[in-house]
């Protein structure tokens, strides 16, 4: 009886030690911690709640501009003439002047590093003719990215009840910006920028806290509160954290706390590689006696660190196959199963090579011989 009690207590102690704590209690309007490679939400609170994002809006302005450059619709060397509207735009500014021609490359730096509202309007007008037309483009891109709780009405993030998004949508947008426009995204790690003799620091203080942080954007106005999107990379694992409706200095601590939690308790790992042989099958009546089966693409998962070794794998495929065989035809399925017996990945296995069939008589003999052998198995 005492031995049974000891075993039960040991089992309970193991269970408790294997559990991870609850995520940090931030006391903010909404937040999300997101792993962009596997598209996994690690922790969240009110992540789909639409709110005004303030200058985090400029992440979409930046995304649209980067795509227009990629498509050769505009160029970094273009020098649009600054309009009265752009010049008079309130809030944080790059201090461009009406009537002056400013290169797109300079305006992008002013928007990203200095959070210039004037630069954002100037870029919007250069891309679409007006800020209103540009907002229409922004919403089209938001739809393509799957930002379901987003509606943009300006390029700056200045107060507007029709300019809303969510923490999760901002994580999607930031991830797309990083993955699709890596050279453009590098500007988010620049700590200062000087224009017209005025040197301004990047408002993202995370850049000074740790080398793991490489972007992305701060935002504030009275309706939105203090907002922050931060991105970090440690080893091969990138995380994106979004905090909305926080307090001034606290938002940086909030994002840091989320990052610490994510990197401490989670891991992103490649379980299988594209074209990696998972199993060999016997080939009947083929010019080769066997063929390997594997995956068309990598399997990468984000998991709690203490659950990695509890995964199991189930391969469903025949033991032999009759030639001819075409490479990349479906050969079976692979399931990845967690410690609670949930199937977390199910994907096709494919033949990694083609195998031609033998000539008619050789094929006939091979099939007959295989049938004879099966009688004794």
Give the C-alpha separation, 36 to 21, whole Å: 23
| Catalytic residue, candidates 62, 83, 92, 115 | 115
Say which of 58, 62, 109, 246 is annotated catalytic.
58
Domain match, 152 and 282 both: no
Neighbour tally for 110: CB within 10 Å: 27
Q: Are 285 and 323 in contact (CB under 8 A)?
A: yes
Residues in the chain, total: 377
Residue 275 vs residues 191, 297, 298, 316: alpha-carbon distances, Å: 42, 7, 8, 17
Q: What is the CATH number of the domain that holds 332?
A: 2.60.410.10
Average pLDDT (115-128) is 98
Residues 152 and 75 in one domain: yes
The pLDDT of residue 254 is above 80: yes
Q: What are phi and psi of 195, to 5 degrees?
A: -135, 135
Query: Which residue in 224, 235, 251 sits closest to 27, CA to CA?
Result: 251
Can you give the pLDDT at residue 8?
30
Note the pLDDT tens digit of each residue in 271-285. 999 989 999 998 887
Write down the pLDDT at residue 209.
Answer: 93
Least confident stretch, 3-17, 23-37, 274-288, 320-334: 3-17
Query: What's 67's domain CATH number?
Result: 3.40.710.10
Among 55, 92, 166, 256, the one annotated catalytic = 55
**Residue labelled with tokens 């060999």:** 280
Count of domains observed in the chain: 2
The H-or-E segment that residue 282 falls in is: strand 277-284
Q: What is the pTM of this model?
A: 0.86
Active site residue 130: no
55: annotated active-site residue: yes
CB 349 within 8 A of CB 294: yes
Question: Please, are residues 258 and 228 in contact by the beta-carbon 8 Å criterion?
Answer: no
Are residues 93 and 165 both part of a single domain?
A: yes
């Amino acid at each position: 009886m005492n031995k049974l009690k000891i075993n039960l207590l040991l089992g309970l102690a193991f269970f408790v030690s294997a559990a991870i704590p609850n995520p940090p209690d931030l006391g903010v309007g909404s937040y999300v911690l997101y792993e962009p490679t596997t598209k996994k939400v690690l922790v969240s609170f009110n992540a789909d709640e639409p709110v005004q994002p303030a200058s985090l809006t400029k992440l979409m302005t930046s995304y649209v501009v980067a795509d227009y450059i990629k498509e050769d619709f505009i160029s970094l060397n273009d020098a649009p003439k600054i309009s009265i509207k752009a010049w008079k735009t309130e809030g944080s500014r790059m201090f461009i002047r009406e009537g002056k021609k400013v290169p797109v490359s300079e305006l992008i730096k002013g928007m990203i590093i200095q959070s210039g509202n004037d630069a954002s309007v100037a870029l919007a007008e250069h891309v679409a003719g007006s800020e209103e037309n540009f907002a229409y483009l922004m919403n089209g891109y938001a739809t393509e990215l799957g930002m379901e709780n987003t509606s943009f009405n300006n390029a700056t993030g200045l107060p507007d009840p029709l300019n809303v998004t969510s923490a999760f949508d901002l994580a999607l947008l930031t991830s797309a910006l990083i993955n699709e426009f890596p050279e453009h995204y590098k500007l988010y790690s620049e700590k200062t920028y000087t224009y017209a003799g005025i040197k301004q620091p990047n408002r993202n203080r995370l850049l000074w806290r740790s080398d793991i942080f490489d972007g992305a954007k701060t935002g504030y106005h009275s309706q939105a509160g203090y907002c922050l999107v931060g991105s970090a990379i440690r080893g091969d694992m990138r995380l994106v954290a979004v905090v909305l409706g926080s307090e001034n200095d606290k938002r940086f601590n909030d994002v840091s706390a989320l990052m610490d939690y994510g990197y401490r308790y989670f891991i992103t790992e490649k379980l299988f590689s594209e074209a990696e042989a998972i199993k060999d099958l016997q080939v009947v009546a083929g010019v080769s006696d066997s063929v390997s089966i594997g995956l068309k693409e990598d399997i990468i998962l984000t998991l709690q660190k203490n659950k990695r070794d509890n995964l199991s794998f189930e391969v469903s495929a025949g033991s032999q196959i009759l030639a001819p065989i075409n490479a990349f035809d479906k050969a079976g399925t692979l399931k990845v199963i967690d410690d609670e017996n949930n199937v977390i990945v199910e994907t096709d296995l494919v033949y990694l090579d083609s195998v031609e069939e033998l000539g008619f008589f050789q094929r006939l003999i091979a099939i007959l011989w295989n049938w004879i052998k099966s009688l004794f198995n």
